[in-house]
Amino acid sequence: RLIPGKQGLSENIKVHSVIGRFLEHSRVFYFNHAEEHKYFIGSADWMHRNLDARVEALTPIEAPKLKKYLQFIINVYLRDNMQRWLLKEDGSYEKIVRTKGTRKVSTHKVLMNHSTDSDIPIPMED
């Protein structure tokens, strides 16, 4: 299993999870090393029950416009302070708590609005 934040092994790895109203969800993988940005999209959870019984796919994203749009989506997810959880080294998840006085940011709400009105900017903290 992936163990994020383990000194000497994975201290630069973070796993964020947004749990909300939609059962079906995407898998976006983003890697950055020495300013080399790599994006991948994939199918289901990489769990034994999925990998053993089905065919799962992962593919790189090469087109600059698609990379830019994926980064937009990742930024929305990373600003979520309503439904985002962070995987800890011990395998448990810790809920990200909104700081008092900051605007509520819900990934699902932002992306639903964005899908109907592409002029809506990424929400920023006030």
Task: Give a yes or no: residue 86 inside a domain.
Answer: yes
**Residue 52's domain spans which residues?**
16-116
Task: Give a yes or no: residue 76 inside a domain.
Answer: yes
Task: Give a yes or no: residue 122 inside a domain.
Answer: no
Task: Give a yes or no: residue 9 inside a domain.
Answer: no
Q: Terminal CA-to-CA distance of the chain, rounded, Å? A: 38
Task: Give a yes or no: residue 63 inside a domain.
Answer: yes
Q: What percent of the chain has pLDDT over 70?
A: 85
Q: How many domains are there within the chain? A: 1
Task: Give a yes or no: residue 5 inside a domain.
Answer: no
Q: What is the pLDDT of residues 75-121, one digit of tens each?
A: 999 999 999 999 999 999 999 999 999 999 998 888 888 777 666 55
Give me the chain's average pLDDT, please. 84
Residue 61's alpha-carbon distances to 36, 51, 58, 103, 118, in angstroms, are: 13, 22, 10, 32, 22
What is the CATH number for 68?
3.30.870.10
Q: Is the pLDDT of residue 125 over 50?
A: no
- Regarding pTM above 0.85, the answer is no
